[in-house]
Structure 1
Amino acid sequence: MTAPNVVVLLADQWRGQDQGWLDDARGRASQVRTPHLDRLAAGGAAVAGGRASSPVCGPSRAGLLTGRLPHQHGVVANDLPLSPRLETLGTALSGAGYRTAWIGKWHLAGLPRDKWVPPAARPGIGHYAGVDCSHDHLDGHYYTADGARAGFTGYEPEVQTDLALEFLGAQRGPFFLTVSYNPPHDPYDSVPARLRTGYPVEDVRLPPNTPGGDEQREVQRLYWSAITAVDAQIGRVVAELDRLGLRRNTIIVVTSDHGDLLGAHGLRAKQSPYAEAVRVPMVINGPGVPACRPTGLLGLVDLAPTLLGLLGLPPIGTYGRDLSDQLRSGGPLRPELLIGNWVSFDNGYDQGIAEWRGLVTGELTYARTVGGRPWLLFDDRADPWQLDNLVADPASAGRVGAADARLSELLAESGDAFPPGDRLLTELDLIDDWNARESALRGDRARLLPR
Structure 2
Amino acid sequence: MLMIDDLNDWVTALGDHPQVFSPNIDALAASGTVFANAHAQAPICGPSRASLFSGLYPAQTGIYGQIPDDQLGAAVAAVSPTQLMPQHLRGHGFYIAGSGKVSHQGGQEGMFDEYVGRVDEHRGQYGPGPEQRMRWFDNRTHTDWGAYPDRDEDMFDYQTAAFGAEFLRRDHATPFMLALGFVRPHVPWYVPQRWLDMFPLDEIELPVVRENDLDDVPQAARDLAAVPQMPTLEWAQSNDEWRPIMQAYLASIAFVDHCVGMAMDALRESGHADDTLVCLLSDNGYHLGEKQRFAKMSLWQHSTRVPLIFSGPNVQQRVYTDPVGLIDIFPTVLDMLGLPANAENAGRSLKPILASDAVMALQPQVSVFGAGNFAVIDQRHRYIRYTDGSEELYDHESDPMEWHNQAANPAMAEVKARLAAYIPAEPAADIAA
Residue 271 of structure 1 aligns to a residue in which SS?
coil
Correspondence for 1:4: none
Cα distance in 1 between the residues matched to 2:108 and 2:367 = 28
Task: After superposition, give the CA deviation of every residue in 1:236-264 in whole Å (9 maximum; x if it has no partner).
Answer: 11111111111111111111100111221
Unmatched tracts of structure 2, length 5 or more = 131-151, 211-232
Q: Which amino acid aligns with 2:99?
A: I
Give the match for residue 54 of structure 1. Answer: 42
Deviations 1:408-444 (A, max 9, x none): 42234xxx5257xxxx23xxxx3xxx3xxxxxxxxxx
Q: Does the aligned pair in 2 maintain the 1:43–1:291 contact within 8 Å?
A: yes
Query: Which consecutive segments of 4 or more residues in structure 1 shift more than 4 A?
Result: none
Separation in 2, partners of 1:240, 1:216:
37
The CA deviation at 1:135 is 4.5
SS of match in other structure, 2:288: coil
RMSD: 2.4
Report if aligned partners of 1:99, 1:175 keep a CA contact under 8 Å in 2.
yes
CA distance in 1, matches of 2:315, 2:209: 35
Deviation at 1:103, TM superposition (A): 0.9
Whether the 8 Å CA contact 2:101–2:107 is kept in 1: the answer is no
Q: CA offsets, 1:182-202, max 9 Å, x none? A: 1100112x1121221111111
- Please point out which of 87, 90, 93 is paired with 2:89: 93
Q: 2:253 maps to what in 1?
A: 227
1: distance between equivalents of 2:59 and 2:368?
11
Q: Which among 401, 408, 417 is matched to residue 426 of structure 2?
A: 417
Aligned counterpart in structure 2 of residue 385 of structure 1, from 392, 401, 408: 401
**TM-score for both structures, normalised by structure 2:** 0.80
Deviation at 1:117, TM superposition (A): 4.3
Residue number in structure 2 paired with 1:172: 173
CA contact (8 A) 1:116 1:131 kept: no
Percentage of identical aligned residues: 27
Larger RCO, structure (CA 8 Å, separation 6 or more):
2
What do the CA deviations read for 1:170-219 (whole angstroms, capped 9, x no partner)?
3332111110011100112x112122111111111111127554311111
Distance 2:297 2:341 in 1: 28
Partners of 2:269 and 2:100 in 1: how far apart?
23
Larger deviation: 379-388 or 329-338? 329-338
| Alpha-carbon distance in structure 2 between the residues aligned to 1:107 and 1:292 | 29
The aligned counterpart of 2:350 is 323
Match of 2:312 in 1: 286
2:99/2:164 contact within 8 Å kept: yes
Code of the aligned partner of 1:365: R
Q: How far did 1:342 drift?
A: 3.0
Gaps of 5+ in 1: 1-7, 141-151, 344-354, 435-448
Task: Report the CA distance between 1:384 and its aligned residue.
Answer: 1.1
Aligned residue in 1 for 2:11: 19
Q: Which amino acid aligns with 1:154?
A: D
State whether residues 259 and 278 of structure 1, in contact with CA within 8 Å, keep that contact through their aligned partners in structure 2: yes
Alignment of 1:353-364 (within 5 A): 355-364=372-381
User: Whole-Å Cα distance in 2 between the matches of residues 183 and 371 of structure 1?
Assistant: 35
Evaluate the alpha carbon distance shift between residue 165 and residue 311 of structure 1 in structure 2; reply closer, same or farther with a 3 A threshold.
Answer: same
Q: Deviations over 1:377-405 (max 9, x none)?
A: 1111211111112223xxx3232x33432
Q: Give the alignment partner of residue 65 of structure 1, picking from 24, 29, 53.
A: 53
